[in-house]
Amino acid sequence: MSDHTKLEVEHELEIAFQAKIDDEQKVEPKDWMPEGYRKNLIRQMSQHAHSEVIGMQPEGNWITRAPSLRRKAVLLAKVQDEAGHGLYLYSATETLGISRSQMIEALQTGTAKYASIFNYPTQTWGDMGAIGWLVDGAAICNQVSLQRTSYGPYARGMIRICKEESFHQRQGYQIMIELAHGTPAQKKMAQDSLNRFYWPSLMMFGPHDSDSAHSAKSMKWKIKRETNDDLRQKFIDQTVSQIEYLGLEHPDKALVWNEERNHYDSSDLDWDEFYSVINGNGHCNRQRIQHHIKAHEEGAWVREAMAAYKQKKQLKNATNAA
């Protein structure tokens, strides 16, 4: 086939592919797909998986210091869920032809990103409340939308994850309720956590649509179903009454209801901070990756033991068969 006809065939395939997407049909692993679609998905899904895995660190920090046995059990269950969600997402990404070890390497060498929120330190127990409530809340907003993403394995993974995650936000909010309605010192702790985590939570939705490198393509291919700004607005709107109920001060002093838009108007975010953290200069970027590498290396003996055991079993089976 000449290069010319090859291009023509490719073009036809792309038209058929887009028609399928426009018709709300899901794409499945063995279907033909444009290289750009595959690459875009691998980038987004692996980042999503990395976020679940790195996301265990800030909360893991408080497991041994949880204020009661019940709190400890809840936090453990939540962190355990995040590990599971990382696994679902890595596996779904592998259906696109990238290996787990390639993804881990990209994370550890910094070529792949994860949600910048996890580069903020968790300083108080109140942060466990704020993370569950705001960070998981923002993640759920995004993930609910992704249940309708065009790639079948990703969509199905999101449905499972959303179901499991339903308790994450509520347990966080419950921590906030207890602190906010507690002693003045506890209320102060809740306010401090809200103040620190509110803005980075809004940044989780990514840059403005106009500045988002991948948004337009992702929307056309229905990898993303709602834009960063729309999802962020949804989250801003729904959080207002939740802050009111806690009796805490809203961190955004410019927040005002806009009758015409039927949404809240709010302050713009500190995008310098966003890009600085994304590019590796947050409080915990180095620590998070170093910890991941350390855990991976310290687990090497388990992987070696498993391989040795498998070999031994094979040898035994071969001897028995002979």
Partner 1 sequence: MTTEKLELFEVFVRPKRGLDHKHVGSLHAEDKEQALEYARDVYTRRTEGISIWVVKSGDICASQEDDRESFFDPSDDKPYRHATYYPLPKEISNM
Residue numbers of the site for partner 1 (CB under 8 A)? 25-26, 28, 70, 73-74, 77, 81, 137, 152, 155-156, 164, 166-167, 169-171, 173-174, 177, 238, 241-242, 245
Could you give the C-alpha distances from 258 to 198, 232, 235, 265, 294, in angstroms and in order? 21, 16, 15, 6, 49
**CB within 8 A of 199, min separation 6: which ones?**
251, 269, 270, 273
Least Å distance, CB 63 to partner 1, is 14
Minimum CB distance to partner 1 smaller for 175 or for 289: 175
User: What is the three-class DSSP state of 269?
Assistant: coil
Radius of gyration of the chain, Cα coordinates, nearest whole angstrom: 22
Least Å distance, CB 210 to partner 1, is 28
* Residue 203 · residue 139 · CB < 8 Å: no
What is the spatial distance between Cα 154 and Cα 97, in angstroms, rounded to a whole number?
14
Minimum CB distance to partner 1 smaller for 149 or for 215: 149
Minimum CB distance to partner 1 smaller for 77 or for 254: 77
Least Å distance, CB 70 to partner 1, is 7
What is the spatial distance between Cα 236 and Cα 303, in angstroms, rounded to a whole number?
44
Minimum CB distance to partner 1 smaller for 174 or for 195: 174
Least Å distance, CB 169 to partner 1, is 6
* Residue 240 · residue 229 · CB < 8 Å: no
* Residue 92 · residue 153 · CB < 8 Å: yes
A 10 A CB-CB count for 22 gives 11
What is the spatial distance between Cα 31 and Cα 17, in angstroms, rounded to a whole number?
9
Minimum CB distance to partner 1 smaller for 232 or for 288: 232
Least Å distance, CB 273 to partner 1, is 27
User: What is the three-class DSSP state of 258?
Assistant: strand
Minimum CB distance to partner 1 smaller for 167 or for 275: 167
Least Å distance, CB 293 to partner 1, is 30
Least Å distance, CB 287 to partner 1, is 29
Minimum CB distance to partner 1 smaller for 118 or for 173: 173
